């Protein structure tokens, strides 16, 4: 069973995180998420939830913290995924442990998948440069110098998969399922979700 690690931070875009996580699980991928940076607790319940608050207020509990994966354990995953949301993507992309991890996984041929502002993590990790990339239009300017910028909804360049925003997250997640599990598995899980005809 292939496995994937999704990074999450305060201010991650909750639709991009959740759609990717859910669809990978539907696709038979073992998914875990890891917190980058710090979480928070409820001000009214100090023994309560340790969660991240996403861009529109959805509160999500990460499965792991990034330091739980020290000692090379993160390299065992078959894919690493960076969701967008400006604040979260900046925290993730600028974290030096993340940069080293993404660089090492890309070099080993693992899938690196970034959506929306998450594509900045590819830039900061210095992977796939000069090759094709896409992102949310709001961060295009930061990518055009180092990549061949595309406006397709999903761009696959060797083992770097990138995409544009919450509205492309279904297509993004299904592209990762197809890369890890094949076209047949992708086709199998599409039906019950009642997707638009054209993603």
Q: Among 15, 35, 98, 143, which residue interacts with its own copies (rule: CB under 8 A)? A: 15
Both tokens of 91, joined, read 């925290």
CB neighbourhood size of 42 (10 A): 12
Q: Among 28, 58, 131, 156, which residue interacts with its own copies (rule: CB under 8 A)? A: 58
**Can you tell me whether residue 66 is helix, strand or coil?**
helix
Q: Is 56 in the site for its own copies (CB under 8 A)?
A: yes
Both tokens of 89, joined, read 């993507």
Burial letters for 156-186: b for 16+ Cβ neighbours within 10 Å, e otherwise? bbebbbbbbbbebbbbbbbbbbbbbbeeebb
Site mask for its own copies (CB under 8 A), range 24-53, x = bound = -xx----x----------x--x-xxxxx--
Nearer to its own copies, 57 or 72 (CB): 57
Of 181, 129, 173, the residue nearest 21 (C-alpha): 173
Residues labelled as active-site residues: 16, 116, 136
Say if residues 110 and 159 touch (Cβ distance below 8 Å). Answer: yes
Q: Among 122, 165, 175, 181, which residue interacts with its own copies (rule: CB under 8 A)? A: 165
Q: Among 77, 106, 147, 170, which residue interacts with its own copies (rule: CB under 8 A)? A: 170
Cα–Cα distance for residue pair 27/25, rounded to 1 Å: 5
Site mask for its own copies (CB under 8 A), range 121-160, x = bound = ---------------xxx--------------x-------
Residue 120 beta carbon to its own copies: minimum distance, rounded to whole angstroms:
17
* Chain residues that interact with its own copies, rule: CB under 8 A: 13-15, 17-19, 21-23, 25-26, 31, 42, 45, 47-51, 54-63, 136-138, 153, 164-168, 170, 192-199
């Amino acid at each position: 069973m292939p496995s994937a690690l999704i990074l999450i931070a305060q201010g991650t875009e909750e639709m991009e995180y959740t759609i990717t996580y859910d669809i990978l699980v539907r696709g038979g991928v073992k998914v875990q998420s890891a917190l980058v940076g710090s979480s928070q607790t409820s001000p009214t319940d100090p023994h309560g939830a340790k969660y991240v608050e996403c861009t529109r207020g959805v509160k999500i509990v990460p499965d792991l913290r990034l330091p739980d994966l020290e000692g090379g354990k993160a390299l065992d995953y078959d894919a690493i995924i960076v969701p967008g949301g400006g604040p979260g993507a900046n925290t993730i992309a600028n974290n030096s442990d993340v940069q080293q991890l993404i660089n090492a996984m890309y070099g080993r041929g693992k899938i690196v998948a970034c959506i929306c502002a998450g594509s900045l993590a590819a830039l900061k990790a210095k992977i796939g440069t000069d090759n094709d990339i896409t992102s949310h239009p709001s961060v295009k300017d930061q990518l055009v110098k180092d990549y061949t910028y595309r406006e397709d909804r999903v761009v696959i360049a060797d083992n770097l998969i990138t995409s544009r925003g919450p509205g492309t997250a279904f297509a993004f997640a299904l592209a990762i399922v197809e890369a890890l599990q094949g076209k047949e598995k992708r086709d199998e899980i599409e039906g019950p979700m009642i997707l638009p005809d054209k993603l």
